[in-house]
Amino acid sequence: MTTFPDLGLSDELLKAIGDVGYTTPTPIQAQAIPYVLQMRDVLGCAQTGTGKTASFTLPMIEILSTGRARARMPRSLILEPTRELATQVAENFRIYGKYHPSLSMALLIGGENMGPQIKALERGVDVLIATPGRLIDLFERGQIMLNDIKIFVIDEADRMLDMGFIPDIEKIVGLLPSMRQTLFFSATMPPEIRKLADRFLSNPKTVTVSPPASTGVNITHSIVNLPTANDWHKREALRTLLRNHAVQNAFIFCNRKRDVAIVHKSLQKHGFNAGALHGDLDQSTRTETLDSFRSGNISLLVCSDVAARGLDIAAVSHVFNFDVPFNAEDYVHRIGRTGRAGKEGTAFTLVTPDEGKLVAAIETLIKKDIERSTLDLPPVQEGRSFGRDRKPASSRGGRGSKPASRHRAEERAPNATETINVSAVIPEPIYESPRMPPHPAPQPYGHTTASAAALAHSGGGSDHGHGFGEHMPAFLRRPRTVEKRSS
């Protein structure tokens, strides 16, 4: 088995790795690090949770440990789709670069004051971690030059595509020197991403740790077909699932922020301990909610895709898709929030009759049929107003399009137990925007108490210790196929 010393990393890095408590490189690290150290371009197909971040941060520290940055001319650039992921990568650099005190880093993310970011750039930066919008903004203000970039990393490329960042990335690549090393990571490799990789990379080494668009190996996931698209019925189905299963904690995904708010409020009314997370909430609320979920004060987190992207929380027992995601790839990401860190996970997706096409797209992507579960629900009574039924998926608008304004007044369940004043919840239906809460420090797989203490001491992971304990990482497990039920 490959060890960290086998990978050609310096003693300082090995010491920092030891302090965090990592004993063995993950497969993506074992495969990618030697090529990055050889200054080769790398095309990495890996999702979060595989140790992907260290696969580029560790060798970058090694390469950049010699040489110095000039003012406003960073030596390396890492693009992340969200503030949360950018913050997470910065935290990785801080932890692994602990014995490289002269290495400087700056984080350029939107929603934060530009002043300190500009000051950091003026001092000279070895590692620049940025979200595309803020980087372009600062470039256009003349605060940064990109012609000294030696190493360029595009992380989560498929997410960049989903979030409409590709034109920004093309613009940024046009500002970089052609003589550079490029590392390109994506959880999935749809044709658009493959084309981009072909354009940006030169003779890359491809490293893949799980097949594109595969679902986690220890997640049991199934579909619950609902007879109608009635909103109350959907929420009742969700409540029934929550009551019938041993749900310790769960992510509940909705496609729209408005529905995040509605489902959240409805669950609270029914006595569930739930919080909500979406991009329109202010930063302190998001951080507080996330902290409460991590610490177990909140057990259900109703959220949108962007808000939950990349969250590395080791022990989440369930994922519920209140809506089938519009993009098939999001299904893989959503259900991948459970079954992490070697633990078993369960995911349910509520499917209304109009969402069949979306399910078919997911099954095509993951190349298998998803198990169907049955659920006994009370019938929707005739002649009562139970809220508006949903529009067919095809008319709801897809990626990037805005849904038509929907104003639901009071909804009443058949048993009259639920009344939601929607107008008091969220004013308008809005699509998710690429903004995220900060991410906690990385957590080691199987770290020891001593190493956890070292991590806490270093500031990493001290807030919410979700180590992986004695559990075997998911990527070391053998794939388990989900049998389709005969009924």
Chain residues in the site for ligand AMP (CB under 6 A): 22, 25-26, 29, 48-54, 312, 442-445
Task: Return the DSSP state at 461.
Answer: T
Shorter beta-carbon distance to ligand AMP: residue 137 or 312: 312
Q: 408, exposed or middle or buried, with CB in 10 Å at 0-12, 13-18, 19+?
A: middle
Q: How many Å apart are CA 414 and CA 232, to the nearest integer?
A: 9
Smallest gap from Cβ 444 to ligand AMP, in A, equals 4
Smallest gap from Cβ 464 to ligand AMP, in A, equals 12
Smallest gap from Cβ 2 to ligand AMP, in A, equals 10
Smallest gap from Cβ 203 to ligand AMP, in A, equals 25
Residue that the structure tokens 């690290």 belong to: 29
Smallest gap from Cβ 119 to ligand AMP, in A, equals 29
Q: How many Å apart are CA 148 and CA 75, to the nearest integer?
A: 6
Shorter beta-carbon distance to ligand AMP: residue 50 or 352: 50
Task: Return the DSSP state at 327.
Answer: S
Q: How many Å apart are CA 122 and CA 470, to the nearest integer?
A: 45
| Token code pair at residue 26 | 């993950």
Shorter beta-carbon distance to ligand AMP: residue 339 or 387: 339
Residue type, 174: G
Sheet strands (E) in 383-433: 410-412, 419-421
Shorter beta-carbon distance to ligand AMP: residue 95 or 146: 95
Shorter beta-carbon distance to ligand AMP: residue 242 or 335: 335
Smallest gap from Cβ 14 to ligand AMP, in A, equals 12
Shorter beta-carbon distance to ligand AMP: residue 157 or 426: 157
- Start-to-end CA distance of the chain, whole Å, equals 44
Alpha helices in 124-181 (DSSP H): 132-140, 157-162, 166-174
Q: Residue 153, SS3? A: strand
Phi, psi of 321 (to 5 degrees): -95, 105
Shorter beta-carbon distance to ligand AMP: residue 387 or 440: 440
Smallest gap from Cβ 36 to ligand AMP, in A, equals 14
Shorter beta-carbon distance to ligand AMP: residue 22 or 184: 22
Cβ–Cβ under 8 Å, residues 234 and 241: no
Q: How many Å apart are CA 484 and CA 397, to the nearest integer?
A: 31
Smallest gap from Cβ 17 to ligand AMP, in A, equals 7
Short-list 91, 63, 27, CA closest to 152:
63
Residue nearest to ligand AMP (CB): 442
Phi, psi of 357 (to 5 degrees): -65, -35
